[in-house]
Chains A and B, each alone.
Chain A
Amino acid sequence: MRALLVGECRAGRLAEEISELSGFAVALGAEASMLLVGSLDDLPAFEGRLYFADSREYGEYNPEAHKRLVMEAVGRERPDAVVFLHSSYGWDLAPRVAAAMKAAQVSGVTGIDGGGYTVDSCNGKMKRTVSPLTPNVVLTLQSGAFSSPKLSGVPEVVRIDADPGSKVEFLGCTQPEEVVDLSRARVIVSAGRGVGKQEHVDLVRELAAAFGGEVGASRPVVDAGWLERSRQIGITGQSVAPELYVACGISGAIQHVAGMKGSGFILAVNTDQDAPIAEAADVFVVADLVQFLPALTARLKARHGGSF
């Protein structure tokens, strides 16, 4: 098995998670090469052939040109598998490469299962094994699913070129506006869509206050405008690791869990016992948060004579 691993840069820096690509290649027992559109000053410590193109020339986000570069490397390397991270770069580029190769694509791979790959289904409640029927396969890896060995090698850099043109013009990036830094909070109590309505966010606020902690949120709560965007936790928000994380009405989608699974102790409150958050939780309370949160808040307040 030969695998071409596609690395990536974000905002001018090599994405750390690309070591997971190597972890996957090891798990697969594959002979790996890598492709990177990036900078010669910031190369991965990858032991092997590194097909390289400069991002000053090809842009960081230019899927049309990057597709041509990947196809150039595919032509030289003839890999059985082309492997991306399931990131905003990977899920965008992978199907373009799969279409060009007429190869099966398996998205969000979490495991290897015989000749197939395990992926989540139904927002993480179920899973299934997808097997390619084509000689080659394109894969995107779910973040955190494979080990990330520390890379310590010297790449053999092979420069490649392709037409850099694109019909899509990249105008640049914007940073999130306000920043609430949740990384120092010892306790975070997060509201999910299960809070049901804006008024119930107060139940989450009150519990957070009783702990002397911060309020976090899942994405739908932020999208609904119930809490500030900067409180979003997950792959497109902040990554946090407080001593205690309380997930209230949060189903546990992998994109959310990726941002809080490093927490010391996880308490989940959910009416659905099958919700995937159960996998991350140390304690899973099967209850309606409208009843349970005030009950817990009252006990904390009683202990501390009102507040901390």
Chain B
Amino acid sequence: MAYLDINDVKPDMKVVLDVCDAHGNVLLKQGALLTEAWIDRLKRRCITHIDVNSEVTISTAESEENGVKVQAEELQFVMKKIFTPVLAKPHMKALARSTYQYLKAKN
């Protein structure tokens, strides 16, 4: 845990104590993950320092993106495996395409 200058905090650091304005209103609750948008908002509310976990957690967005990427690659692999021998058969290319798009959207 660290008490950091607002200019030194980074997205995806975890807020460890509620961030309050001068009137005691809670702006950001303990446990929240910082984002660029929240850092800007806190700056605009004249917050100068906050208590955060200084270790940058893996970005949710980034991990989701990576996850989706891995899932998409896995899905492509599985689709190739189960469809390749039959792709030349009537309608199977269209079915493979529709299935891939459906499962990709589902994931």
Q: Do A and B bind each other?
A: no
The chain A residues found within 8 Å of chain B, CB to CB, are: none
The chain B residues found within 8 Å of chain A, CB to CB, are: none
